[in-house]
Structure formats: C-alpha cells, structure tokens
C-alpha cells in the first residue's frame, strides 16, 4: 500500500485539458490552461488539446454545457486521448457522467494534485499524509467510482498512491484505514511539535511560497546545501532543514517546505500539518515569489490564503521577489516592488542581492530580540547555564552572592527568565527604537 510506484507508463497518457471560468472563480492571466497544463506535465501526461468555457453557473450533471461536452467528446476521439483533466473540482456524479460521455477517465483538479503528491512522496511520513488525503477525498466518491473502475486500463494519473486496490475496498475498511492513518499522524504531529519547539538555541526561518517559486534554489544559495532542485511543480514535499551561517549574527535554522498552489485541497493541507510544523513554529517566514511569473500577485494571494488556513497569518514575513534575472519587462518588476515596498528583490539562481536579503533577515530577526540585564542567585547554576547556552551573553559581573549577566535574548526565551526567580530588566528593545541589526557588545553601557 505504501510502496512508491514510479514510471508506470504515465508518459503514454494523452490528456485533454478543460477549464471553466465562473464568477466565483475567474481565470487568472491570459492563458486559462497555463497552470493545469503545468500540473498535467508534472503528473507525466502529454497534453494534446484543451477546452475553455465561461459560465454563470455549472450544469449539475456534467459541469459543462451540452455543446462543450460534444466538443470534448469529439476532441477525445480525434486525439485518441486517455484522460480528461479538469481545472475545477467535480462532484462524483459529474465525474461519472463525464466518463460516460467521453469514454475515458476524468480527473478534477484536486485529484490531479493529490496524484502528483503521491508520486513525489519519499519519506514514510509524507506517504502517510498523501494516502490519508487521497482516501478522505475518495471516500465519498467510492459508490460512484466503483461503477466505472472497469474502464481504467492499467495504471496512470489518478490511480497512484492508494490506487485501485484501495478504491475496491468497502467503506468500512477504508474508514478503518483513515482512522489508523489519523492516529499515526497524530503521533507524528505531536513528536514534530516537540522536536521543533526544542530548537530554542537557534532562530528558525522558514521558506514558503507558491510551487516552483525557487525556494530550494534559494536554500542552496544561502546555506551551500545541495538539496534537490527541479523545474517542476511540487518538486519538494518533505521539509528539509539546514544551518544557515549569517555573518555578524550566527547560526539560523532554515527550512524548505512544500510549495503552495491556489485551491490546494483542504484534505492535503490538514494531513500535511506535521510536515508544515516548521512553518507554524518559525520566527520568520521568507515568502518567495517568482517575480518573472505573470501571475505573481495571484500567487502571493494564494500563499497568504494557505498560511491563514495553517494559522500562520500573523507570523513575521519578509517578501522575497525571486528570479529577477528572468523578468523580461522591467516595468513588471517595478510594479511589484511598488506594491510591496518592503520586499527584497533577488535572483537565487544567479546569487544576486543575497547580501541585501541577509541584511533584511537580520533586521527582522533583531526585532524579535531584546537586550536584558539579569540578576541571578549565584547558587542557581542551572539558570546561569541556561542563559549561557541560549543567549548571547556579552558581559557578566559578580556582586555579593549574585551574578549579573547582560545578554541578547529572544522574546521566546524571555518568558522563561521572567518566570524564574531571577530579576530581569529590559535594557534595550530594538522594536521600539530606530536602531537596526544586532546590538554591539557594549549595548548595555549605552
């Protein structure tokens, strides 16, 4: 069930793309099929045709109108297509009726995205998460899907991950498997939360952004790591964390996460919460945007929407306009910069303006730190050791039976000090002054 199945003749599948614009879901950009084409290619299909339609509302039985349905059927036959991929979410009944009319497999946007995730999942955790999302998506559709499984010829898009055998199980077995997966992932989530929260000695920064925005390339540029980079959607599923050494600051833990996309299936967001724990707990988010993409603004909005669903909307965030070397029209970049005046423009691939990004990160991290004077009982060796291990102690004095330490410490750890027996005084708070960057060693004397 959990075995990864790759290179199973998916490249032989010829796909027809369909995109329907509705008042509640208008097309983005000039090419309505652009994103679904990228998803289809990533899934391994060969795109042989496409159909678009604007409607005020959908047809309950087939989603598209009779005329477009006849056009779709004719195109499937003319192109000898194997699958129809909708850039919209369909009901089980609509899938069944469309398959009856076209004679081929029909997948909607959510199922296509889930299928891609199934092929990309590498770790045990990611496979569990993808399987749960697929089963929760499939469960209400089982009754409709059983009637047409016989028309599926072999493996292909939409049959990977749990696949055909999982869909052939009855609802009781599928429900039991879902409960088992949720329990296993609950334990994974709890362990991940403890693991992330235990990393108190380093500031944590998480890369987020639309899929294929260049997050992995940026991680390589910042850390010197050799993480996998591919010019395809969702090339990264498992969170990777590396140490980033910032001059005049120190070590930062930088995490690369799965890319987001508009209308990301809710089941997928829920099941991937463990993987995205790094993002949920990060001190700073670097929101990476492909500035060369004509839909950059829409991508920014989509990512913000997903972050809101994850409960990360209030996290300090720095917008990073990436791939500026690929922007053909400078005025496009100028408009983006004007709309987002605090963003940093870089090229991760060419390593352009990386220093500016580093300085901006230091400035934002500094706002989360304070300079403190801590008076500790000399007998409290545990607290003295804690402060020495987790803070930047730049001066220490001994008076009578007390130790006085001047330190640069994060607000996250300040609460621990304030709950102790020590006397804590905030000497300087960068967020309340015009000063930027990490204080000098003599900050306490100013």
Q: Are residues 315 and 388 in the same domain?
A: no
Pairing of the two strands 402-410 and 240-246: unpaired
Task: Establish if 50 belongs to a structural domain.
Answer: yes
CATH number for position 34: 3.40.50.11060
Instruction: Evaluate whether residue 314 is within a structural domain.
Output: yes
Could you list the pLDDT tens digit for every one of the 446 residues in the chain? 444 434 434 346 999 999 999 998 888 777 899 889 989 998 889 999 999 999 999 999 999 999 999 999 999 999 999 999 999 999 989 999 999 999 999 999 988 988 888 887 777 777 888 888 888 887 777 655 444 444 444 556 665 555 455 445 567 788 888 899 889 888 887 887 777 666 656 778 999 999 889 998 999 999 987 765 665 666 666 678 888 999 877 888 898 887 888 887 777 776 666 667 778 778 899 999 999 998 899 999 989 988 888 888 888 899 999 999 999 999 999 999 999 999 999 999 999 999 999 999 988 888 777 888 888 888 888 888 877 777 778 788 888 888 888 887 777 677 777 777 788 888 877 656 544 444 433 333 33
Indicate whether 31 and 145 sit together in one domain. Answer: yes
Number of domains within the chain: 3
In a domain, 113, yes or no: yes
Q: Where are the beta strands (DSSP E) in 68-200?
A: 83-86, 105-107
- Same structural domain, 356 and 209: yes
Rounded to 5°, angle at Cα 105 from 99 and 109: 100
Q: Are 364 and 341 in contact (CB under 8 A)?
A: no
pLDDT tens-digit series, residues 386-424: 777 777 787 888 888 888 888 877 776 777 777 777 888
What CA–CA distance (Å, rounded) separates 258 from 240?
A: 10
* 28-62 pLDDT tens trace: 777 899 889 989 998 889 999 999 999 999 999 99
Residue 15 lies in a domain: yes
Q: Are residues 22 and 140 in the same domain?
A: yes
Q: Could you give the dihedral angle defined by the CA atoms of residues 102, 103, 105 and 109, in that order, rounded to the nearest 10 degrees?
A: 10
| Domain membership of residue 411 as a residue range | 369-445
In this structure, what DSSP letter does residue 174 have? H
Residue 1 lies in a domain: no
């Amino acid at each position: 069930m959990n075995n990864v199945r790759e290179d199973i003749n998916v490249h032989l599948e010829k796909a027809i793309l369909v995109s329907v614009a509705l008042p509640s879901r208008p097309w983005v950009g000039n090419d309505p099929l652009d994103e679904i084409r990228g998803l289809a290619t990533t899934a391994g299909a060969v795109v042989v045709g496409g159909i678009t339609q604007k409607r005020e509302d959908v047809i309950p039985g087939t989603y598209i109108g009779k005329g477009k349905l006849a056009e779709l059927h004719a195109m499937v036959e003319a192109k000898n297509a194997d699958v129809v991929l909708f850039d919209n979410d369909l009901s089980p009944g609509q899938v069944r009726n469309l398959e009856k009319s076209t004679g081929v497999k029909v997948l909607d946007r959510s199922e296509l995205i889930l299928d891609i995730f199934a092929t990309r999942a590498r770790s045990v955790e990611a496979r569990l998460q993808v399987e749960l999302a697929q089963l929760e998506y499939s469960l209400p559709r089982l009754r409709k899907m059983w009637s047409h499984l016989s028309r599926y010829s072999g493996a292909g898009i939409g049959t990977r991950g749990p696949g055909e055998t999982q869909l052939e199980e009855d609802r009781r077995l599928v429900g039991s498997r879902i409960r088992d997966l949720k329990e296993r992932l609950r334990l994974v989530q709890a362990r991940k939360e403890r693991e992330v929260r235990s990393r108190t000695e380093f500031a944590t920064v998480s890369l987020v952004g639309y899929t294929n925005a260049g997050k992995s390339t940026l991680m390589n540029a910042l850390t010197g790591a050799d993480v996998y980079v591919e010019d395809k959607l969702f090339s990264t599923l498992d969170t990777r964390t590396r140490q980033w050494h910032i001059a005049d600051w120190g070590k930062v833990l930088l995490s690369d996460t799965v890319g987001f996309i508009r209308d990301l299936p809710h089941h997928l967001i829920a099941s991937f919460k463990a993987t995205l724990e790094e993002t949920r707990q990060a001190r700073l988010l670097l929101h990476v945007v492909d500035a060369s993409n004509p839909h950059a603004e829409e991508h920014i909005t989509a990512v913000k929407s997903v972050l809101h669903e994850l409960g990360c909307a209030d996290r300090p965030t720095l917008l990073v306009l990436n791939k500026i070397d690929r922007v053909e029209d400078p005025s496009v970049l100028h408009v983006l910069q004007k709309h987002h005046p605090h963003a940093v423009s870089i090229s991760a691939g060419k390593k352009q303006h990386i220093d500016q990004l580093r300085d901006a990160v230091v400035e934002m991290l500094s706002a989360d730190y304070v300079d403190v004077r801590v008076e500790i009982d000399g007998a409290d060796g545990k607290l003295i050791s804690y402060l020495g291990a987790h803070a930047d102690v730049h001066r220490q004095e001994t008076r009578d039976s007390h130790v006085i330490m001047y330190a640069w410490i994060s607000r996250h750890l300040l609460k621990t000090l304030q709950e102790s027996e020590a006397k804590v005084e905030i000497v300087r708070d960068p967020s309340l002054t015009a000063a930027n960057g990490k204080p000098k060693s003599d900050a306490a004397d100013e």
